[in-house]
Each structure stands twice: as structure tokens, then as C-alpha cells.
Amino acid sequence: MSKKKIDKKKDKTVRSINNNIRSSVRKLNPILRGIVGKKVDIAIRDLQFSEKRITKDIRKTINSAVANAENNFQYDIDKLIVKEAFCGKKITMKRFRPRAKGRAAPILKPYSSVTIILSEIKKMESHGTKS
């Protein structure tokens, strides 16, 4: 158990979780896959110019993670990259729409949770592969 805690300290990761985003996991996944591995400012810029409605909430989550990194751990903002970004299912609101002949059709309104994990870029060390 203690080894895991030590590894997390070395890894230098910061996370931010946004619960209850009003969108389905299916719509969020492609957006999140597009920002993994990018520097934070580039990821925010890409989300800024996306036409998807939900990118505003994802941008908020990234900004929150950046604020956590800066305030709680004193990381340099310019060295932060998006290490992981994933989402999970939450509740589903159920609504009903009236249909012909006295029937009702269900409408499902899903919610999701988004987790963004940032980490600092480590300096690249040359191992003498080519001179």
C-alpha cells in the first residue's frame, strides 16, 4: 500500500473531476480523446474552436485542474500536459413524450462525469543513442 503512495508523489499528477455534465459518454469520448497528450494551453485552444456545446464544460474542468496544480502544488503552467481524460456514466433523467393513440415514448437524458488528469513534462534526457 505504501509503495503506491510513494509512486504517486513521484508522478506529480493533478486532477479535476466535473460531476453531472449534461451529455452522454458517447458524445464526450471523442472530444476527450482529442486532447490527451497535448499541452494544456493547446488543449484549451482546441476546445475553444470546437463547435460542440459540451466543450465549454470540459474547458472549465481543465481550467480547474490547472488552478489546482498552480495553487496546491506550485507547478509551472507552461509545463503541464493532459495525461489522461476520461468520462463515466452518471444518472439518466427519464422524461416521457406523448404519442399517438394515448401512448407515451420515453426520452432519456443522460449525465456524465469528466475526469481530467494533468502532469508536468519532465526534461528529456539524451541517452547517447546518436551523436
Domain boundaries, the chain: 13-120
Spell 56-82 as b/e; 16+ CB within 10 A means b: ebbbbbbebbbebbeeeeebeeebbbb
Bridge partners (DSSP) listed for residue 92: 110
Q: In the CATH scheme, what architecture does the domain 13-120 have?
A: Alpha-Beta Complex (3.90)
Q: Check residue 71 and give left, alpha or beta (phi > 0: left; psi -120 to 50: alpha).
A: alpha
Q: Half-sphere exposure of 85 toward its Cβ, with a 13 Å CA cutoff?
A: 23
| End-to-end CA separation in angstroms for the chain | 43
Q: Give the pLDDT confidence score for residue 131 in this predicted structure.
A: 47
Joined grid coordinates for residue 72: 496546491
CA distance linking residue 21 with residue 18, whole number of Å: 7
Joined grid coordinates for residue 41: 494551453
pLDDT in tens, the chain (131 residues): 434 344 445 567 888 999 989 999 999 999 999 999 889 999 999 999 999 999 999 999 999 999 988 888 888 888 888 898 999 999 999 999 999 999 999 999 999 999 999 888 876 555 555 54
Q: Give the pLDDT confidence score for residue 11 in this predicted structure.
A: 64
Instruction: Kindly give the residue spans of alpha helices, DSSP state H, lying in the chain.
Output: 2-11, 25-35, 40-48, 55-73
